[in-house]
Amino acid sequence: MEKITLKKYITHNNKYVLFLVCAGVISALYTLSGAISYQTGQFLPLLDFELNTPLVPWTIWIYIVLYPLYIIWCLLSYKDETELNKLLYAFHAVTIFSCFIFIIYPVNYPRELYPLDSDMLKINELLFRFVRLVDKPSNCLPSLHVGFCFSFAFGWLRTDKIKFSISFLIATVIAISTLTTKQHYAYDIIAGFLVAVTSFYIFDKLTVIKE
C-alpha cells in the first residue's frame, strides 16, 4: 500500500511556539464541544467495580498535576523529528475525533453521586472544585486524558523502549486516576485507549513525513 505523504511542520526550533498554539486550539475545541453537548448527554450504567471504587481525594493530583507534567516531559524529550511530527498528527486526530464524538454522542458522568466530603483536605477540595467547574461532565467518551497519555507513550515506541515503558506506566496510572476521581467511566478509558492505538497505527504505518 502506498503511504500518504505528510508535510514536516514541527522541528526542534519551532516546537515551543507550536506546542502553545496546539494547546490553545485543543482547549478551544474541547470547551466548545462541551458547551454544545452539556445539556444533551446521557448516563451510562456504572459497572460493579466502579460502584465499589470510592472517590480517592489525593488522586486528583495525578489527574490534574501529573497529567500535564507528563505531557510536557514527553514533548520536550522527543529527539526524532520524524516521530515527533507523526505523533503531533496523531495527537490532532485524537483531538478532532474525540471532540466530534463528544458532540454527536455526548455521555455524562453522574458526579452528583460523589459529593465532595467536608473532611477532605482543603487543597484537594479546591482542585476538585476547579476541575468540576472547568471540565463539563459531558466530555467523557472517549477520555482525552487517556487518549493523549497513551498517544504520547507510543511516541517512544520506535526510539526508546525504556522511556516507552515508563510512559506507558505513567499513562496507566493517570487512566486509573480518572476512575478514582470519578471523572470517567471504564468505557471511557477503553475508548480513549483504542482511539490512541488506532491513531498511532494509522500515522505510524500509513504515512511518511517529508520536508
Q: How confident is the model at residue 2 (pLDDT cuts 50, 70, 90)?
A: confident
Residue 211, pLDDT above cutoff 70: yes
Strand partners, 107: 42, 139
* 205 DSSP assignment: H
Mean pLDDT of 80-89: 89
3-state DSSP call for residue 103?
helix
Strand partners, 4: 207
Q: How confident is the model at residue 75 (pLDDT cuts 50, 70, 90)?
A: confident
pTM score over 0.95: no
Mean pLDDT of 144-167: 92
Task: Select the highest-mean-pLDDT range: 21-35, 61-75, 132-146.
Answer: 61-75
Relative orientation angle of helices 161-180 and 186-205, to the nearest 10 degrees: 150
192 or 132, which is more confident?
Answer: 192
DSSP string of 127-181, one letter each residue: HHHHHHHHS-TTB-SS-HHHHHHHHHHHTTTTT-HHHHHHHHHHHHHHHHHHHHT
* 57 DSSP assignment: G
Residue with cell string 490553545: 24
The predicted-structure confidence for 157-188, as pLDDT tens digits, reads as follows: 888 899 999 999 999 999 999 999 999 999 99
Query: How far are the Cα atoms of 7, 28, 143, 147, 176 from residue 189, in angstroms, in the given order?
Result: 31, 22, 6, 8, 8
Report which secondary-structure segment, H or E, holds 42: strand 42-43
* 55 DSSP assignment: P
Residue 69, pLDDT above cutoff 70: yes
The predicted-structure confidence for 97-128, as pLDDT tens digits, reads as follows: 999 999 899 999 998 899 888 778 889 999 99
